[in-house]
Structure 1
Amino acid sequence: MKDVKIENMDWVSYKELTEEGKCKIILPVGAIEQHGPHMSLNPDVLIPSHIAEEVAGKADNMLVAPAISYGYKSQVKSGGGNFFPGTTCVSGSSLENYVFDVLQAYVNHGNREFILINGHFENSMHLCEAADKLVNKCKAEKISVKVYLLSYWDFISEETIAKVFPDGFAGWAVEHGGVLETSIMLKIYPELVDMSKAVDVEPATFPPYDVFPPDPSWVAPSGTLSSPLKATEEKGALILEECISGIVQHLN
């Protein structure tokens, strides 16, 4: 497959590929966050980065920017919380400003279309703010830019969910460190998954509110919000195929 990673290019090749805004720039945005004792801290970075490279390899005129690895603070009801060792997060304003600055730099190079692929649920609204800020600033400067923002899990169909969770799906809210992320990692980075350390937990249940400071007792000691035990490489391949083909179909 062709090399689509901007970081691997010399500046002359990059300039030739992007001059006059003829490429879409894909920017993966993730987080460094615990995903249970069975998996590395970086699935939220590695998964959108892998999807971005596959999409760019199959689509026309797309390049992949280096991923932004630090994301917004892990929340108890979606990521287990910010109190687990290894979970390393930034404030919403820091993430927003950082993403804005990176996109502005690419605009200064002449790029005009961007695809943000999010791998960490908590990032979403801060990425919206960064995109909106960029578009409004460029509009005032009479520069036309377009930013697509997506989370890869939104491209997974109910049919695929039924295949991945034949015994029933507990919902996206408790999939942190569960079957979906673990299956994808088993497919793309199996060396970063140790299923012998996986902990079987019941899907988490939460009260209909958040509390600050966060209460660690709301989360299983493993940090996962559901059990990863039924994760497989085959399920990961099925999920990835649908996500990648769907993104290419919509954005090529």
Structure 2
Amino acid sequence: EQHGPHLPLGTDGLLAAAVAADTAAQVGGLVAPTLSYGYKSQPKCGGGQHFCGTTSVDAATLIGQVRDAVREFARHGVDKLVIVNGHYENQWFLIEGIDLGLRDAKAADPGCALQVMRLEYWDFMTPETLGHVFPDGFPGFALEHAAVLETSMMLHHHPSLVRMDLLPDDGPADFPPYDMYPSRTDWVPPSGVLSSARGSDATKGRLLAEEVARRMAEAIATGFTRPST
């Protein structure tokens, strides 16, 4: 998915893999290869499908990938699986893939013990930390597409892939409270960035990345110990 002129197309996958690796180091986990292609980009959170380079999959394709992966991990005896989402539009299709994969796994082996935790890494950023990163006010996660959060975290994790000389300065996109189909491309800033990326730096990225990894590790330590219902 496009992330403006200053970030690579693979930003969502790169950041999800990076926070997964940081978290795995804290909990003694392993990181599986990334599923790099996600559901179709939407104007209000990713700019939309009309941008050059954005390459997406249909819902059924994504659901099938996740379903098969969950079933295969279960077949190999994995009992704890964390799916880290880095692309907002994926959420409901990950849920469906997990549900179907667990259904398949339990049908094949009624004693299957696999539990799956699904999360969006940005949900582990606290208001206090966001206040430090955005002293003038946080615009919200949807409008932060390719803006300060992602740019700062990329400067921390993958600085060689960030082109600060191409940093756009688009103001926050102003979307109506509804969607239109076909999508209205004129709603989206030409750069594909939904808020200004000015003020991004690696120090902010490190602050965010460390908090996310720490709080994800805490969630893993507690989430899998609670009894299933």
TM-score normalized with structure 2 length:
0.93
Tell me if the contact between 2:69 and 2:101 (Cα under 8 Å) persists in the aligned partners.
no
How far off is 1:240 after superposition? Answer: 0.3
Q: Does 1:54 align with 2:22?
A: yes
How far, CA to CA, are the matches of 1:109 and 1:170 in structure 2? 43
* Alpha-carbon distance in 1 for matches of 2:116, 2:206: 28
User: Separation in 2 of the partners of 1:135 and 1:106?
Assistant: 10
CA offsets 1:88-135 (integer angstroms, 9 cap, x no match):
000111001011112212211111221000000000000000111122
How big is the shift at 1:234? 0.4
Match among 63, 68, 73 for residue 30 of structure 2: 63
Q: Is the CA contact 1:138–1:144 (under 8 Å) kept in the aligned structure 2?
A: no
Measure the CA separation in 2 of the matches of 1:80 and 1:245: 30
What's 2:224 paired with? none
Counterpart contact for 2:155–2:201, Cα < 8 Å: yes
For residue 184 of structure 1, the aligned residue among 153, 163, 176 is: 153
**Distance in 2 (alpha carbons) for counterparts of 1:82 and 1:147:** 30
Q: Residue 206 of structure 1: which of 175, 178, 191 is its match?
A: 175
**Residue 238 of structure 1 aligns with which residue?**
207
Task: Give the corresponding residue for 2:79.
Answer: 112
Contact 1:195–1:229 (CA under 8 A) maintained in structure 2:
no
Match of 1:138 in 2: 105
2:65, 2:167 → 1: CA distance?
A: 34
Q: Which amino acid aligns with 1:84?
A: F
Name 2:131's counterpart in structure 1: 162
Deviation of 1:159 after TM superposition, in Å, equals: 0.2
1:15-94 → structure 2 map (5 Å cutoff): 33-60=1-28, 62-94=29-61
Q: Distance in 1 between matches of 2:125 and 2:148?
A: 14
TM score, norm. by length of structure 1: 0.85
The share of aligned pairs that are identical, in percent, is 44
The Cα of 1:137 is off from its aligned counterpart by 2.6
Q: Report deviation, 1:56.
A: 1.1
Unaligned runs of 5+ in 1: 1-32
Deviation at 1:250, TM superposition (A): 1.3
- Distance in 2 of aligned mates of 1:186 and 1:198: 12
Instruction: Please point out which of 120, 129, 135 is paired with 2:96.
Output: 129
> Shift of residue 74 of structure 1?
0.3
1:149 to 118, 121, 127: 118
Distance 1:209 1:155 in 2: 28
Paired residue for 1:195, among 160, 164, 184? Answer: 164
**Which residue number in structure 2 is paired with residue 228 of structure 1?**
197
- Supply the distance in 2 between the matched residues of 1:139 and 1:38 (Cα, whole angstroms): 45
CA contact (8 A) 2:82 2:117 kept: yes
How far off is 1:138 after superposition?
A: 2.7
AA partner of residue 33 (structure 2): P
Of the two structures, which has the highest relative contact order with CA contacts closer than 8 Å and spacing of 6 or more?
A: 2
